[in-house]
Amino acid sequence: MTSFRRLLGYMANYRGLVALAIVCNILTAVFTVVAVPLFQPFLNLLFEQVELVNIPPDAISSMVELRQQVNYSLSQWIVELGKETALAYVCGFILLSFLLKNLFRYLALFFMAPVRSGIIRDLRNELYGHLLHLPLGYFSEERKGNLLSRITADVQEVEASILNVLEAIFREPFIIAGALTYMIVLSPGLTVFVFGLMVFTGVVIGGVGKRLKRSSTVVQENLADIVSRTEESLGGLRIIKSFGAEGFQSERFGELNDTYRHSLIRLLWRRDLSSPLTEFLGIATVALLLWYGSRQVFGGEMDAGAFLSFIFAFYMVIDPAKNLSKAWYNIQKGLGALGRVEEVLDVENPLSALKGSDTGHLTAPNDGSRKAMTSQINSDEVGGTTAARTQDAMTVGMQVENVSFRYTPNGQDVLQNISIDLPKGKVVALVGNSGGGKSTIADLLPRFYDPTEGRITLDGKDLREYSLREVRNHFGIVSQEAILFNDSIFNNIVFGMEGVTEADVHEAARIANAHDFILETANGYRTNIGDRGSKLSGGQRQRLTIARAILRNPDVLILDEATSALDSESERLVQDALQKLMDGRTALVIAHRLSTIQKADEIIVLDHGRIIERGTHVELLAKNGAYRKLVELQEV
C-alpha cells in the first residue's frame, strides 16, 4: 500500500489529465454496455418469441413493469419500419456505440500517456536527487552498478508493469459494474451463481500473482548484479587487459547472466500462465453458466431472449476481467521493482536529521544572478580576478575540537581526540603514512560526515548549526583524483556557479596555468573533454580543477595530495597554480611530497588517527622525530 500511495502522490501532479482519462474511460464503459439491454427485446420481438405490444404505455404503466413499456416502443418501431429496416437501425446503433467506445478509449490513452511518462520522470528525478544528497558513507556500502540498475531498469519496469495498466484499472471496473448491474436486473439468482465462480477464479489468480511479485524482485536483483559487474569491468578495463583476465571476467559475467536467465524464465512462466489460466477459468465459468441457465429456461424461469442477453452481458464482463487479471499480474511484477526503488528513497540521511541541515532543499536564491551561489562580490582579487565570496565570509577560522570518528557504529576509531586550529589566512598541512586519518579530517571539515565525538566550528559556531549549503559554500576542494565531467572545458570550470562571465573563466584558467593548453584544443573552452576528462592529460585535468577552485574563490581550500599522481613538469605547473591559489587564503593541505608544504604555518603529523607531532617545518626537523624521518626517506 505504501508503494501505491507514493505513486498516487506523483499522480496528484497530473490530476487534470487523470480526471479527463477517467471521464473518457467511463464513457468507454457506457458505450460498451449500452448495447447490451437492446438485445433481449429485439431477440424476442424480431424472432417472434413474444407478441408485439399494441397497448399504449400510459394504459399499462399501472400493471406492468418498465420492460413492457420498452417493448411497446420497440413494437411500434417494428410495425412502422418493418423488421428488416428496424434490424438495420439496430445494427447501425451498435456500430455507433462501438465507434464511440473506441474513440473514448483512445482519448483515455491519449490523456494517460503524459501522466505515465511524467510519473516516471518525477520518480527518476526524486531518486537521482535523493542519491546526490545521501552521505558519502552510504556509497561505501552500495555498489554503483546496483544503484544504476535501480535508476534505469527498475524505474523503467515500474512504467512497463504498473503505469502501463493504469488504463485498464480506470476502465475495466466501470464496464464490469455496468454489465453486472444489467445481469442483476435480468436475473439476480443467475448473477449470484456467476459471481461465485468469478470469486473462485480471482482467488486462484491472486495466488499466482503473489509468487510473481517475489520472482520479479529476484529478477531485478540479478539484473542489478549484471549492471554492477559491467560497470566494474569497464572501469577496470586496463587492469583486466594487463593481467589477461578477459576470460576470467567473461566466465564470471556468464555465471551472473545464466542466473538472471533462469530467474527470468521462471518469471515468464508464471506471467505467461495468466492468460491461458484466465481464459480456461472463463470458459469453465461459461460452460457452467450455460448448464445452469439452460435449466432455468427449460423450467420457464427465464425466457430465451433474456438468457441470450445475459450471456452477452457476461461476455462483456469476461474480457475486462481478463484485462484486470493481466493488470494484477503486471502490478505484482512491477511492485518488486518499485520496492527496490523505495529501498533507496526511504534511506534517511543522518546529516539531515540534525539542526540546520537542508540536504533536500537548497537555500532559495535572492535573485537570478551568481549571488545565489556566492551572494556577494567583494573587492578581493586573486591574480586580477574579481572573486565571489559566500553569503557570510569566514571572519575567524575553523577549529577541530577533540574530535574522534568511526565510519560504522561498531567499527574502530579512525580518528582519536584530534584538535586542530585553522585560523583565517593560515595554511595547515597534514602528513603521515597512509591510513593515518588525513583524508578523513578533510572530509569532516565540509561536513561530508559528522564527528562521532567532539565538534568542528566555523567562526566559533558548530557546523551542525549551519545548513549544509552554508557550510559547503565556504569550501573549495582540489583532490588527488581530478573529478571532471563529460562536458566542455568551460562548463567544467564554471561547474555549479551562476552569472560567471567568460572573462572570469579565462582569468581563472590563466592563474591555474591552463589557458594556453585550452586554446590549443580543437574548440578552445568549448571543447568536450570526454568521460572523466579522458581526452586530457593528468596535469591538464588537475589544472582545470584548480581553475574551478580559483573561480569559486572559497574561504577554505582543501588540497588532498593534488600533485602526487603527476610527472615532474605537470607537478611544477600545478604547484605553481596552487601557490597562487593559496596566497593569503586559509588552506588545509594533505601531502605525501613534503617539499610542497615546507612553508605551511603549521604541519601536523598523524599516525593511526592520532597527532604525534605538530609545528613548523624547522621546528619539526629540530625535534628529530617522525617528521624528520619522513623527510629523510623522501630525500634518499
What distances in angstroms separate CA 404 from CA 418, 475, 556, 606, one per listed residue?
6, 22, 22, 13
47 Cβ contact list (under 8 Å, min separation 6): 305
pTM: predicted TM-score of the whole model, two decimal places: 0.69
Are 359 and 352 spatial neighbours (Cβ–Cβ below 8 Å)? yes
The most confident of 21-35, 42-56, 67-81, by mean pLDDT: 21-35
Angle at 303 between CA 298 and CA 307, to 5 degrees: 90
Helix axes of 166-186 and 188-235: crossing angle, nearest 10 degrees: 170
Please indicate whether residue 363 or residue 100 has the higher confidence score (pLDDT).
Answer: 100
pLDDT score at 588? 93
Angle at 194 between CA 189 and CA 196, to 5 degrees: 100
The most confident of 222-236, 445-459, 486-500, by mean pLDDT: 445-459
Q: 435: phi > 0 → left, psi -120 to 50 → alpha, else beta; which?
A: left
Report how far apart the first and last C-alpha atoms of the chain are (Å, whole number). 68
Least confident of 68-72, 139-143, 382-386, 399-403: 382-386
Helix, strand, coil percentages for the chain (3-state, nearest 5): 65, 10, 25
403 Cβ contact list (under 8 Å, min separation 6): 415, 417, 418, 419, 444, 451, 453, 454, 455, 456
The pLDDT of 617-636, averaged and rounded, is: 87
Instruction: Estimate to the nearest angstrom the gap between the alpha carbon of 155 and the chain centroid.
Output: 6
Please indicate whether residue 214 or residue 424 has the higher confidence score (pLDDT).
Answer: 424
Please indicate whether residue 580 or residue 465 has the higher confidence score (pLDDT).
Answer: 465
pLDDT over 70 percentage in the chain: 78
Instruction: Estimate to the nearest angstrom the gap between the alpha carbon of 546 and the chain centroid.
Output: 32
pLDDT score at 521? 92
CATH of domain 2-345: 1.20.1560.10
pLDDT band at 380; cut points 50, 70, 90: very low
pLDDT for 249 beyond 70: yes
pLDDT score at 65? 53
Task: Name the amino acid, one letter, at 403.
Answer: V
DSSP letter for each residue of 160-223: HHTGGGHHHHHHHHHHHHHHHHHHHHH-HHHHHHHHHHHHHHHHHHHHHHHHHHHHHHHHHHHH
Please indicate whether residue 466 or residue 55 has the higher confidence score (pLDDT).
Answer: 466
> What's the pLDDT tens digit per position in 59-110?
444 434 555 665 666 666 767 777 677 777 777 777 888 888 889 989 988 9
pLDDT score at 421? 95
pLDDT for 613 beyond 90: yes
pLDDT score at 617? 93
The grid coordinates of residue 200 equal 473462485
pLDDT score at 207? 63
Least confident of 102-106, 339-343, 352-356: 352-356
pLDDT band at 352; cut points 50, 70, 90: low
pLDDT for 30 beyond 80: yes
Least confident of 180-194, 301-315, 398-412, 586-600: 301-315
Residue 488 DSSP class: B
Are 36 and 179 spatial neighbours (Cβ–Cβ below 8 Å)? yes
- Ordered by start, the domain boundaries in the chain are 2-345, 371-484+553-635
Exposed, middle or buried, 219 (CB in 10 Å: 0-12/13-18/19+)?
Answer: buried
- Could you tell me the strand order of the sheet in which 475-479 lies? 475-479, 556-560, 586-590, 427-432, 602-607, 610-615
Residue 591 DSSP class: -
> What's the pLDDT tens digit per position in 588-599?
999 877 877 888
Are 158 and 110 spatial neighbours (Cβ–Cβ below 8 Å)? no
Least confident of 271-285, 372-386, 575-589: 372-386
Residue 99 neighbours by CB distance under 10 Å: 11
- Residue bearing cell 465507434: 99
The most confident of 96-110, 478-492, 514-528, by mean pLDDT: 514-528
The CATH number of 371-484+553-635, from 3.30.460.20, 3.40.50.10740, 3.40.50.300, 3.40.50.1100, is 3.40.50.300
Smallest CA-to-CA distance from 589 within 445, 431, 417 is with: 431
Secondary element (H or E) of residue 523: none
Please indicate whether residue 353 or residue 410 has the higher confidence score (pLDDT).
Answer: 410
Integer-rounded Cα radius of gyration of the chain:
37
pLDDT for 208 beyond 90: no
The most confident of 325-329, 357-361, 477-481, 539-543, by mean pLDDT: 539-543
Biggest CA pair distance of the chain: 125
pLDDT score at 493? 92
pLDDT score at 528? 93
pLDDT score at 4? 65
Are 387 and 582 spatial neighbours (Cβ–Cβ below 8 Å)? no
